[in-house]
């Protein structure tokens, strides 16, 4: 479990951050488009 956590932290840290940024950007863009459309 420790090795999995270490691997996850080493490999998935940047991926998780990028995914979070892209996801939040998509949510904001969707909210803006919904605000404009409706």
Q: What percent of the chain has pLDDT over 90?
A: 26
What confidence tens digit (pLDDT) does each residue in 11-26 have? 667 788 888 899 999 9
- Residue 21 is encoded by which pair of tokens? 């940024």
pTM more than 0.85: no
**Where is pLDDT greater, at 16 or 4?**
16
The distance from CA 15 to its chain's CA centroid, rounded to whole angstroms, is 8
> What's the whole-number average pLDDT of the chain?
79
Sequence spans of domains, the chain: 1-38
- Residue 11 is encoded by which pair of tokens? 């490999």
State the DSSP string of the chain: -HHHHHHHHHHHHHHHHHHHHHHHHHHHHHHHHHHHH-
């Amino acid at each position: 479990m420790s090795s999995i956590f270490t691997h996850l932290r080493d490999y998935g840290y940047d991926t998780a951050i990028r995914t979070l940024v892209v996801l939040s950007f998509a949510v904001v863009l969707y909210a803006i488009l919904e605000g404009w459309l409706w």
